[in-house]
Structure 1
């Protein structure tokens, strides 16, 4: 007997804001997405999601919920994280706040991190991201071969074990960062071993290399040999003359690797003149290279050597989107020497992206939400969405519109994976005294986020 999930009166703001929908799933797969003529009266067996405690029926049972016009989005996809570094700030400081000191300090302490410590940090960061609504995570992993093969593979082993443990709750993609300082045959052989162990693809930061082009060549050669995707930190610099993204795009075209290559950061695009940036953006679009912007970390790290004006490093988000490049907004680092803040909440990252990229119009706000749902799905190569035949991975949030989502950043969320609720929101806190609660409800009714939108 199939397990059935049916949700009525769901708002799908990225699909059609003029209607509510009935959503049906069987055994964790969407079977129907039906537009309602209006709000429907739920059956007596239907529970209001706002008062539901998250209890799932026995296998083969049916769960009927009334979403009450709350916003329902595809589950978030965090396309660029560093789970192994997360929460390492108490051990690894950064006095200057520069990228250079962060790299230097973290690298020096890597040999002392035990496998259990790495696993604990990854587990905490991943579970926190899942709790906020992300059920697909792509993490880059430090791969310090210069400290010895055992040190490099220790991180890989820890990540593989975390991925297996969390498989019921999230898809986790693993990308070891090939060293930029000395990409030797030994390093390449160790990377090949990591691929055989089960990592997803190959990463790196070739723009930091003294010879970026040969390093990029070696990464593509190894990726072709093992038929795996590539995700490179690209041009995380304020220097407008650093342009490895263009070479990465050309190699993507040469290898026919469209849709399988990602370039993260792309900060130097923001530092160069329009006439220099445009052809690089066009080349990325032609090659089918996905892009990831990391606004939290780059607002924090970039411009550290400037006086005034201070460059802030967030890439040309609007121009990339306009050219047809899928752009994901992602968490990057969490409470480590590269970025002391963050919590793995992509809704917060969507808001920071909107601030940094001047995305405040109604259309822009919806694009910011697609940058944490639809576009990262294309970047990381997964099928995602609220459509028949796709996995029922989604998040219901205590808000009605995109404007309300990015204004209120609601903590109350219901996170689902494969039709199973992973997190149900706690009941709303009650105001002390009925009068204050009444004032609140009356004010919310009179001042709606639906009013005045173009």
Structure 2
């Protein structure tokens, strides 16, 4: 397979990309536009990009909004209550149907790797079992990591710790947590210590729902970062959401950032969901309730973006398009300078791959030939136009393809 007339990120030239046996064999500069043969794929000067990575989503809850009731207040906490109502309705067939439909939606929009959370505060652990089974079944088609996530608290939920260990024994890839939802500060800190201990015992990654609240006194992030630093495992640790950071004062943040940078932990922001759920107790002024994405990036930390939900009790919209999430983030986080645009796709590609510890990711000779073709010639044009994903190739095989959007002008304004 050969791709011609391709653009690559941060490069002005055209490129020809030769793929052999599912691997990038040669990536060479083209001197001019080439007319494609029947054996070649013409990128038509669109952007060849590493695949999108969805680092934070709850597939077990996807496509359940309104079942049995809608989240009328729009709060995180009512979302948890609505999900608690939905859990007794879960079975393998129900989860499998919704998960596969959502994965298909993500694949259609350029995603080739997913980290999904699965609730462990369910005595049957049906979500964990089903998602681990789907992960194994689809391992040759898409990369999936399953997070054992104690939605109602690891230590505050009856038998929660035993269920977490059982989930890890079943095969969950990542240890999750939610320290701010534990009953007390002490239980929250103990849960973080337990998360670290379990990850070391089972050799797993860590992804914690951390300070997903507007409370400026919710400061489990510093505790998580210190534990990661203490045990030298920061690159394997992720703090998701951290929305309380939007309520921290600058004096505290200046101290906190030193620890965060030294810890080397990763950050995931879910801007569409956070701006919807947070600030619900404010009248005016009303907080955005999204973590300090721009400031974290400027401090040299690894930050990526996730969708979090697709049509579930916490967020009743969502269409599988990470470019939509990126567009929201740039607006909400006031990252609208041209230099922000030039690097923006990092937030849903390279940075996410680093967070998931994916190996051999990216467009490089010798790497697996995994990539997507985006409508546009660079990061800026793709984002401005919200261009379509035209092609998705995994290990040299086409897994999704669509035609570029075509607009027929009828000279309406000239009549």
Which interval holds the TM-score relative to the shorter structure?
A: over 0.9
Question: Is 1:128 paired with 2:85?
Answer: no
Question: Is 1:198 paired with 2:175?
Answer: no
Give the Cα–Cα distance (whole angstroms) in 2 for the partners of residues 177 and 75 of structure 1: 26
**Secondary structure, in 3 states, of the residue corresponding to 2:235?**
coil
Native 8 Å contact 1:71 1:398 kept in 2? yes
Partner of residue 119, structure 2: 142
- Of 223, 226, 232 in structure 2, the residue corresponding to residue 247 of structure 1 is 223
- Of 203, 218, 230 in structure 2, the residue corresponding to residue 227 of structure 1 is 203
Partner of residue 305, structure 2: 329
Higher mean displacement: 273-282 or 367-376: 273-282
Partner of residue 29, structure 1: 23
Partner of residue 309, structure 1: 285
Offset, 1:313: 1.0
**Alpha-carbon deviations, 1:149-179, whole Å to 9, x = none?**
x2xx211121122223332331010001134
Partner of residue 263, structure 1: 239
**Would the alpha carbon gap of residues 115 and 359 (structure 1) be closer, same or farther in structure 2, given more than 3 Å must change?**
same
Give the Cα–Cα distance (whole angstroms) in 1 for the partners of residues 346 and 302 of structure 2: 10
- Aligned alpha-carbon RMSD (Å): 2.0
Partner of residue 160, structure 1: 132
Partner of residue 32, structure 2: 39
Offset, 1:72: 1.2
**Alpha-carbon deviations, 1:193-227, whole Å to 9, x = none?**
32222211111211211221111111111111101
Offset, 1:131: 0.8
Give the Cα–Cα distance (whole angstroms) in 2 for the partners of residues 267 and 70 of structure 1: 36
Higher mean displacement: 283-292 or 162-171: 162-171
Gapped regions of structure 1 (runs ≥ 5): 48-62, 440-454
Native 8 Å contact 2:121 2:157 kept in 1? no
Partner of residue 399, structure 2: 422
Give the Cα–Cα distance (whole angstroms) in 1 for the partners of residues 195 and 121 of structure 2: 16
Partner of residue 153, structure 2: 180
Question: Is 1:106 paired with 2:79?
Answer: no
- Of 316, 322, 338 in structure 2, the residue corresponding to residue 346 of structure 1 is 322
**Would the alpha carbon gap of residues 94 and 430 (structure 1) be closer, same or farther in structure 2, given more than 3 Å must change?**
closer
Partner of residue 8, structure 2: 12
Offset, 1:183: 5.1
Larger radius of gyration: 1
**Secondary structure, in 3 states, of the residue corresponding to 1:233?**
strand
Offset, 1:297: 0.2
Native 8 Å contact 1:80 1:140 kept in 2? yes
**Secondary structure, in 3 states, of the residue corresponding to 1:175?**
strand
**Secondary structure, in 3 states, of the residue corresponding to 2:169?**
helix
**TM-score normalised by L of structure 2:** 0.93
**Would the alpha carbon gap of residues 427 and 371 (structure 1) be closer, same or farther in structure 2, given more than 3 Å must change?**
closer
Native 8 Å contact 2:90 2:126 kept in 1? no
**TM-score normalised by L of structure 1:** 0.85
Partner of residue 368, structure 1: 344
Native 8 Å contact 1:137 1:172 kept in 2? yes
Partner of residue 77, structure 1: 53
Higher mean displacement: 164-173 or 184-193: 184-193
**Secondary structure, in 3 states, of the residue corresponding to 1:368?**
helix
Offset, 1:35: 2.4
Gapped regions of structure 2 (runs ≥ 5): none
Offset, 1:427: 6.1
Number of residue pairs aligned between Structure 1 and Structure 2 = 408
Offset, 1:306: 0.2
- Of 339, 344, 363 in structure 2, the residue corresponding to residue 386 of structure 1 is 363
Give the Cα–Cα distance (whole angstroms) in 2 for the partners of residues 77 and 412 of structure 1: 13
Give the Cα–Cα distance (whole angstroms) in 2 for the partners of residues 311 and 98 of structure 1: 14
Partner of residue 452, structure 1: none
- Of 268, 272, 277 in structure 2, the residue corresponding to residue 296 of structure 1 is 272
Partner of residue 55, structure 1: none
